[in-house]
Amino acid sequence: MSNIKLLERTLPVAPLKIVAMESCKELGEKVNDYIVSFRENTICEVNSSSPLYVNYESSNYLVNCSCPRFGSGEGKGILKETIRGTDLFIMTDVCNYSLTYTLNGRVNHMSPDDHFQDLKRIISAATGKARRINVIMPFLYESRQHKRTKRESLDCAIALEELNAMGVSNIITFDAHDPRVQNAIPLSGFDSFNPPYQFMKALFHAVPDLKADKEHLMIISPDEGAMHRAVYFSNVLGVDMGMFYKRRDYSTVINGKNPIVAHEFLGDDVEGKDVIIIDDMISSGESMLDVAKQLKDFNVARVFVCTTFGLFTEGFDKFDEYYEKGYIDRVVTTNLTYLPPIVDEKPYFVKADMSKFLALIIDSLNHDTTIGAVLNPTDKIHSLLEKRLGKV
């Protein structure tokens, strides 16, 4: 049974309200539009005159809110309408560096720490009046600092415990760097979703002649950490996979990490095949581009890069250069984090829209229905492949 059919047979936990923080405003508006559309169709199938469906159908589920700041840089969260008794979903993008605030006359760009503080301010402004509070944080705050190897802070675990202590019932994230961070809050809801279906859909649309079979395609993991993604992707598509592992200089620390000395490849022959490099994020893109260049040295046909989060912390110059040299053919990333407008001008850039997927997750959780089908996109990918084969 499809998720939409399940929603038609169940009642919501409480009236739905969505807080799209300033950092996540555009994505939040798209999600709201999809939910409005879902419910317009659903309400036709049920007895809409029933008092159980009061406030169910609305033209807008977004809450009017803001996080203004004083001249000193201190801030506060304000909810400009009641959220009493609602099932509140708060969406935030901790990687949106485009937002600024004034600190003693100087302009500061907001960091992940600033966004996380604003999230807590909005939760505090709800003052416990919501029926349930759910946080949607696509890029999990401090998720790259998820384990301790020496005398280090455990920032991600502390952040999750903070949200739990503030009364957050569910935390929804995407492609968590290491999902085991949920062990910090074992009795609370924590879901990490992955976008492989959206990757394939976007790739098929952007590259009409892409053939997803064993003779023409191979999945590549750029390092050991991305292995589980590559294994799943290759199994679902029925193609082979390969892996690079990083040799690092552990005697040196540059920009908070040990520099990579070389990438070594493990896997079958890739000559003449298209390859998809899959990972959770592009930060500077240095290691991803190095892997793409090495694959081209192995005489692969085309290189497609798929990552959930495109942070591009050092800009696009290197990506432009590698595209012009033919080392990369497409870079696919989602709209779950901020992307500068310039990406729309890049001939190699493909955006995988996640707004409908997010809307379905929110609507399912609001109805307390199973999200098993949402968590596991295998059937959707197989259906996409069958449609693709039918067109070829």
Query: What are the beta bridge partners of residue 372?
Result: none
Give the pLDDT score at 207: 92
How far apart, in Å, are the Cα atoms of 93 and each of 199, 241, 249? 20, 32, 33
Give the pLDDT score at 1: 44
User: How would DSSP label each residue in 114-154?
Assistant: HHHHHHHHHHHHTTT-SSEEEEE-SS-TTTTS-S-SSS---
User: How would DSSP label each residue in 46-69?
Assistant: S-TTSGGGTTTS-S--B--EE--B
Give the pLDDT score at 304: 96
pLDDT band at 51 (very low <50, low <70, confident <90, very high): low
Look at 163 and 258; give whichever has higher pLDDT: 163
Residue in the block written with tokens 């040299």:
325
Size (the chain), residues = 392
Span 323-334, mean pLDDT? 94
Domains of the chain: 3-193+355-374 (3.40.50.2020), 196-353+380-389 (3.40.50.2020)
Give the pLDDT score at 260: 67
Separation between Cα atoms, residue 264 and residue 245, nearest integer Å: 5
Residue 345, token pair as written in the block: 């001008």
Give the pLDDT score at 330: 95
pTM above 0.75, yes or no: yes
